[in-house]
Chains A and B, each alone.
Chain A
Amino acid sequence: MPAVRIKDHWREQRLFDQRALVCAALMGLATVGLIARLFLLQVTRHDYYAELSQGNRVRTEPIPAARGLILDRSGEIVAGDQPAYQLELVPEEVPDVDKTLASLVQLGLIRAEDVNEIERTIDSSRTFDSVPIRLRMSDEDVARFAVRRFEFPGLDIKTRQTRFYPNGDLAVHALGYVGAISEQDLKHIDRAAYAGTSLIGKLGVESAFERELHGRNGFREVLVNAQGRSVERQGGTLVTNLRTKAPTAGDDLILTIDLKVQRVAEAALAGHRGAVVALDPNNGDVIALVSLPGFDPTLFGRGITAAEYNQLQGDIDRPLFNRALRGTYPPGSTVKPVIALAGLTYHVVDPEAHRFCAGSFHLPGSSFIYREYHNEHHGAVDLDDAIARSCDVYFYGLANEIGVDRISAFMAPFGFGALTGIDISGEKAGILPSRAWKEKMFSRPADRVWFPGETVSFGIGQGYLTVTPLELAHYASVVATRGRIWKPRLVAAYRDPGTGQLHRIAPVSGGEVGGVSGDDWQRVVHGMIGVTQRGTAAAIGAHAPYVFAGKTGTAQVFTVARNEKYNAAKINERLRDHSWFIAFAPADAPRIALAVLEENGGAGASAAAPIARKVLDAYLLDAEGKVKPTS
């Protein structure tokens, strides 16, 4: 018989009390555990969670700084900021996106082929974000949309700052342009500093002075809710402790360029390929820097299309190519003044002694004939005459007598074969040949030997010797100041737009050409004045209200057979000689030195020299045609 269990109330009460006590103890333990957890979250890890919470509620929006203006030496705006219009759409406010886009296509505001791309962009955006669906709207587009705006809820025209070049392609190869920040750019900029910036300088002054122009972006802290929507209130109260830092606008740059001269130079060269570089020989200021053809820099700032870029890239005239800084050409006869100086300095030549020019030259013991340009016969010429009339035979002989290495060593301080050190990047150096140079450049032993005949060509600026228009202008400037060297510069000063404070950049001296006597300088300059008065460019120099020194040059592109005559009309336009002219004025106290190159322009006297005269006039003369007094 199983034991019958009988309820024992006293024992059950005790059991219950015991259990209740244990449960209460467990409860206490659980509470302590909970408090420990709270302590961990709210005390130990408080900073961590506080930061997460702050990151949740506050979004930092960058405020881009206004890019600095670029002004010419007289204060005219060369590059500025301008608002551009764009059409933006807020998806949640548009009742029917498909229909809206279709209507916009009908209005001609967006292209039918772009609709799919736009829809993808809209789909990937948050519904309350404003999505740009059309950039670069013209005034006409804006007007067309404005009158039908009531039909398009959720669409609006917004403005944003873009770079504006009021003169279009004027001086584009000096200025450069701005464009969208590329992967390449990201490698060398501070990403944080560029948050909010959409454009960056790509070339020229825009790129070289990016740091000054960019300024410092500011930021604004915006309160956002869980959906990322920016809100002003948090739980009914306005939030006021958000930080804001105003951007600091970029510095304005003041160029050395004189836009008036630049315009004249571009107009004079218009329709041709070529370059003009005009310098102030007294400090290296670039008065004009032209490379034609150019392109409209505004295209890049607003977002160039692939078609537009391919067109520029594929153009046979190479508008994107900066001829002034990167085009290397044989200088032709423009080197004669420095060869003459070398001859005088090394005492190889008596300036008064005449040499006889019968139209050709040959080295002793060689049957190879070096001809005079156009087969001229200059007869008996002294040094002065040889420069003025550009006698090749005289310089064939002179160069041969000096020797290649001495010529090369003498020319180096004038900037040949080296970068001039201009304050924008992209410059290329020409070639100043020498025995050592040839040995280094060629691999075949037969090619590494310097031939005497190569020295002969060197004397008239042909052969291996090449220069850029900038280098040649620099050389003209050194001759103009009788040996003083200044680094060319495009930017004279920058200005804080807030305070108006001007920071001038001191001109950088490159030293002096030493060892040349004053008499020798004078002799060569006299020869160059002869060029413009009775020599090869006499027609150009006529009636000038100032005395100026110059030198023509003709660089061969195409070698004419020895027994043939060069006939410009007969050969392809692009194989014609390049036309050079260097000059400085006034000859006794030069204020401007320049080099003009016209690609395939033919003889220097006929193509480049007239352009040079126009540029000199533009810089030196006032409206009445009188020489302006020095300031």
Chain B
Amino acid sequence: MMYEEVTSGSRTRRTLTGAARVLMELRIDGPLVVGLSLIAAYGLVVLYSASGQSLATVLRTVARLVIGAIAMLLLARVNPNFLRRSTPWLYAGGCVLLLIVEAIGHVGLGAQRWLNLGLFRFQPSELMKLAVPMMCAWYMHERPLPPGWGALALLSVIILLPVGLVAAEPDLGTAALIACGGALVIVLAGLRVRVMVGLVLLGVVTAWFGWSFMHDYQRRRVLTFLNPQTDPLGAGYHIIQSQIAIGSGGVFGKGWMNGSQAQLEFLPERSTDFIFAVIGEEFGLLGLLLLLLLYVFVVGRAIYLATQTQETFARLLAGSLALTFFVYVFINAGMVTGLLPVVGVPLPLVSYGGSSVVTLLAGFGILMALYSRRKLIGS
């Protein structure tokens, strides 16, 4: 429907439809926006139930979605070259903010993740979710692919510096996602398979070392992931209750606002990290399949857009953003269903709270900007 046949005299011309022309002007990708909107709408319906019928919670989320949408629209109009040139500054600024947060955290009480900017709270780690893959893509832009050893070493530094700072906050989930965003750029850049295998082995060894540096609660999460039944009332409670919620939902679910696990508060963090389980309980397997279908559609479309870009920076960044979105979904769903350890990763566009909604939509804005400014070469 993007094109229509226009017949004038003996010539038939294919032209863009009116709607498509508007989207073109806005540099917005229609299918992607439809997919994202459906997910967000679905999320709002679930959130109303999961928050215990709190209209205020829903409205706050709508506000965040609006802010995110504006960010997406604005970023979609930014020239990719400008984006690329400002990447090092964005990255450097983000690292400085992380250091400030870390410093405040040491002074204040315990975990510190955000800066209070008066009007709103700002999480520098959210910024880094975009800045790290951008920086990696920027670095690889001028260099031949696949990356050599030297490039790999430098990319590792680019990734691990902010990841280390975020992990120290401590926010393991976000740190993992940031690392993932950067790593995906390297993978998409064509990192050789044997190097990847080597890195995985290195990762295993590092994990072994890392174990000794973990906080107790992080270790417990890993252990209860391996066997949640060992501590049913403590660390394993989350996983057990979310599995009960999902399992008891069956194929068709218990119905909207009728999930006893969610409504009677057996399910912890029901409106945030564990909202996936609420969908499973109230809308059943069908509800979850619908959600996964929407996610797969969005990610698929995003990957398609990435392949259509022509510059290295655009391709790598767009591809990384698309895949990171899927990683988000998979980690959250995996955690809630008991496949992965419990790390605080929200379900994108559905979980309540945080600035992640804005970051995600901003990411899609960047992706659209990269796609829409491709040089129309070839046929």
Taking Cβ atoms with an 8 Å cutoff, the residues of A that contact B are 5-9, 12-13, 15-17, 19-20, 23-24, 27-28, 30-31, 33-35, 37-39, 41-43, 45-46, 48-50, 52-54, 56-57, 223-227, 231, 234-237
Whether B164 sits at the interface, judged by CB under 8 Å, is no
Whether B306 sits at the interface, judged by CB under 8 Å, is yes
Taking a contact as CB atoms closer than 8 A, the residue among A27, A37, A56 that contacts B339 in the complex is: A37
**Could you tell me the distance between the alpha carbons of A45 and B338 in the complex, rounded to whole angstroms?**
14
Whether B323 sits at the interface, judged by CB under 8 Å, is yes
Contacts of A8 in B (CB 8 A): 144
* Given A20-B307, A33-B339, A57-B266, A15:B251 Cβ within 8 A: no
* Given A16-B190, A16-B307, A224:B264 Cβ within 8 A: yes
* Number of inter-chain CB pairs below 8 Å: 157
| Contact in complex: A31, B292 (CB < 8 Å) | yes
Contacts of B280 in A (CB 8 A): 38, 41-42
Nearest-Cβ distance from residue A56 to partner chain B, whole angstroms: 5
| Contact in complex: A35, B265 (CB < 8 Å) | no
**Could you tell me the distance between the alpha carbons of A42 and B143 in the complex, rounded to whole angstroms?**
49
Taking Cβ atoms with an 8 Å cutoff, the residues of B that contact A are 49, 52-53, 142-146, 148, 184, 187-190, 241, 243-251, 257-266, 280-281, 284-285, 288-289, 292, 296, 299-300, 303, 306-307, 310, 312, 315-316, 319, 323, 326, 330, 333-334, 337-339
| Contact in complex: B261, A53 (CB < 8 Å) | yes
| Contact in complex: A56, B264 (CB < 8 Å) | yes
Nearest-Cβ distance from residue A126 to partner chain B, whole angstroms: 14
| Contact in complex: A53, B285 (CB < 8 Å) | no
Q: Which residue of B lies closest to A57 (CB)?
A: B260
| Contact in complex: A41, B261 (CB < 8 Å) | no
| Contact in complex: B284, A42 (CB < 8 Å) | yes
| Contact in complex: A227, B260 (CB < 8 Å) | no
Most buried by B among A5, A35, A49: A49
Q: Which residue of A lies closest to B191 (CB)?
A: A19
Residue pairs across A and B with Cβ atoms less than 8 A apart, 15 shown, are A19-B187, A31-B330, A37-B339, A39-B285, A41-B337, A42-B285, A53-B261, A53-B281, A56-B244, A57-B264, A225-B266, A226-B265, A235-B263, A236-B257, A236-B263
Nearest-Cβ distance from residue A123 to partner chain B, whole angstroms: 19
| Contact in complex: B319, A52 (CB < 8 Å) | no
| Contact in complex: B246, A42 (CB < 8 Å) | yes
**Could you tell me the distance between the alpha carbons of A499 and B53 in the complex, rounded to whole angstroms?**
49
Contacts of B281 in A (CB 8 A): 53
SS class of chain B's interface: helix, strand, loop or mixed? helix
Nearest-Cβ distance from residue B108 to partner chain A, whole angstroms: 31
Taking a contact as CB atoms closer than 8 A, the residue among A20, A37, A39, A237 that contacts B306 in the complex is: A20
* Given A34-B339, A39-B285, A12:B246 Cβ within 8 A: no
Contacts of B262 in A (CB 8 A): 235
| Contact in complex: B258, A235 (CB < 8 Å) | yes
Contacts of A56 in B (CB 8 A): 241, 244, 260-261, 264, 266
Most buried by A among B148, B248, B251: B248
| Contact in complex: B53, A235 (CB < 8 Å) | yes
| Contact in complex: B188, A237 (CB < 8 Å) | no
Q: Which residue of B lies closest to A239 (CB)?
A: B260
Contacts of B258 in A (CB 8 A): 234-235, 237
**Could you tell me the distance between the alpha carbons of A554 and B349 in the complex, rounded to whole angstroms?**
100
Nearest-Cβ distance from residue A45 to partner chain B, whole angstroms: 5
| Contact in complex: B247, A19 (CB < 8 Å) | no
* Given A8-B144, A24-B303, A34-B339, A223:B246 Cβ within 8 A: no
Nearest-Cβ distance from residue B250 to partner chain A, whole angstroms: 5
**Could you tell me the distance between the alpha carbons of A38 and B244 in the complex, rounded to whole angstroms?**
12
**Could you tell me the distance between the alpha carbons of A234 and B254 in the complex, rounded to whole angstroms?**
12
Contacts of B244 in A (CB 8 A): 49, 52-53, 56
SS class of chain A's interface: helix, strand, loop or mixed? helix
Q: Which residue of B lies closest to A4 (CB)?
A: B144
**Could you tell me the distance between the alpha carbons of A43 and B252 in the complex, rounded to whole angstroms?**
10
* Given A31-B292, A235-B52, A237-B257, A46:B307 Cβ within 8 A: no
Nearest-Cβ distance from residue B182 to partner chain A, whole angstroms: 15
Taking a contact as CB atoms closer than 8 A, the residue among B260, B303, B334 that contacts A34 in the complex is: B334
Nearest-Cβ distance from residue B47 to partner chain A, whole angstroms: 13
Q: Which residue of A lies closest to B262 (CB)?
A: A235
Contacts of B246 in A (CB 8 A): 38, 41-42, 49
Q: Which residue of B lies closest to A5 (CB)?
A: B144
**Could you tell me the distance between the alpha carbons of A42 and B244 in the complex, rounded to whole angstroms?**
9
Contacts of A52 in B (CB 8 A): 244, 247-248
| Contact in complex: B146, A15 (CB < 8 Å) | yes
Taking a contact as CB atoms closer than 8 A, the residue among A12, A39, A42, A231 that contacts B264 in the complex is: A231
Contacts of A48 in B (CB 8 A): 247
Nearest-Cβ distance from residue A154 to partner chain B, whole angstroms: 24
Nearest-Cβ distance from residue A199 to partner chain B, whole angstroms: 34
| Contact in complex: B250, A42 (CB < 8 Å) | yes
| Contact in complex: B339, A23 (CB < 8 Å) | no
| Contact in complex: B312, A12 (CB < 8 Å) | yes
Nearest-Cβ distance from residue A600 to partner chain B, whole angstroms: 66
Taking a contact as CB atoms closer than 8 A, the residue among A9, A35, A227 that contacts B292 in the complex is: A35
**Could you tell me the distance between the alpha carbons of A386 and B115 in the complex, rounded to whole angstroms?**
117
Contacts of A236 in B (CB 8 A): 53, 257, 263
| Contact in complex: A235, B323 (CB < 8 Å) | no
Nearest-Cβ distance from residue B286 to partner chain A, whole angstroms: 9
Taking a contact as CB atoms closer than 8 A, the residue among B148, B188, B263, B333 that contacts A19 in the complex is: B188
Nearest-Cβ distance from residue B277 to partner chain A, whole angstroms: 10
**Could you tell me the distance between the alpha carbons of A13 and B189 in the complex, rounded to whole angstroms?**
10
Q: Which residue of A lies closest to B296 (CB)?
A: A31
Q: Which residue of A lies closest to B282 (CB)?
A: A235
Taking a contact as CB atoms closer than 8 A, the residue among B249, B265, B310, B330 that contacts A227 in the complex is: B265
| Contact in complex: A50, B307 (CB < 8 Å) | no
Nearest-Cβ distance from residue B271 to partner chain A, whole angstroms: 13
**Could you tell me the distance between the alpha carbons of A232 and B198 in the complex, rounded to whole angstroms?**
58
Contacts of B337 in A (CB 8 A): 34, 37-38, 41
**Could you tell me the distance between the alpha carbons of A235 and B248 in the complex, rounded to whole angstroms?**
17
* Complex A-B, nearest 4 residue pairs according to Cβ-Cβ distance, in ascending order: A49-B247, A235-B263, A53-B248, A57-B260
Nearest-Cβ distance from residue A18 to partner chain B, whole angstroms: 8
| Contact in complex: A223, B264 (CB < 8 Å) | yes
Nearest-Cβ distance from residue A55 to partner chain B, whole angstroms: 9
Taking a contact as CB atoms closer than 8 A, the residue among B184, B257, B312, B315 that contacts A235 in the complex is: B257
Q: Which residue of A lies closest to B50 (CB)?
A: A235
Contacts of B315 in A (CB 8 A): 13, 16
| Contact in complex: A27, B323 (CB < 8 Å) | yes
Nearest-Cβ distance from residue B290 to partner chain A, whole angstroms: 12
Nearest-Cβ distance from residue B294 to partner chain A, whole angstroms: 12
Nearest-Cβ distance from residue B201 to partner chain A, whole angstroms: 19
Q: Which residue of A lies closest to B285 (CB)?
A: A42
Contacts of B144 in A (CB 8 A): 5-8, 12
**Could you tell me the distance between the alpha carbons of A515 and B270 in the complex, rounded to whole angstroms?**
89
Contacts of A39 in B (CB 8 A): 285
Taking a contact as CB atoms closer than 8 A, the residue among B260, B261, B319 that contacts A20 in the complex is: B319
| Contact in complex: B285, A225 (CB < 8 Å) | no
**Could you tell me the distance between the alpha carbons of A53 and B253 in the complex, rounded to whole angstroms?**
13
Nearest-Cβ distance from residue A11 to partner chain B, whole angstroms: 8
| Contact in complex: A42, B263 (CB < 8 Å) | no
| Contact in complex: B187, A41 (CB < 8 Å) | no
Known: A17-B307, A38-B246, A226-B265. 19 other contacts (CB 8 A): A12-B144, A12-B312, A16-B145, A20-B303, A30-B326, A34-B333, A34-B334, A37-B337, A38-B280, A39-B285, A42-B288, A46-B248, A46-B250, A53-B281, A56-B241, A57-B260, A231-B264, A235-B53, A235-B263
Most buried by A among B146, B188, B264: B264
Contacts of B300 in A (CB 8 A): 24
| Contact in complex: A35, B247 (CB < 8 Å) | no
* Given A34-B339, A38-B280, A12:B250 Cβ within 8 A: no
**Could you tell me the distance between the alpha carbons of A28 and B337 in the complex, rounded to whole angstroms?**
18
Contacts of B249 in A (CB 8 A): 42
**Could you tell me the distance between the alpha carbons of A48 and B306 in the complex, rounded to whole angstroms?**
44
| Contact in complex: B187, A53 (CB < 8 Å) | no
| Contact in complex: B307, A235 (CB < 8 Å) | no
Taking a contact as CB atoms closer than 8 A, the residue among A13, A30, A31, A46 that contacts B247 in the complex is: A46
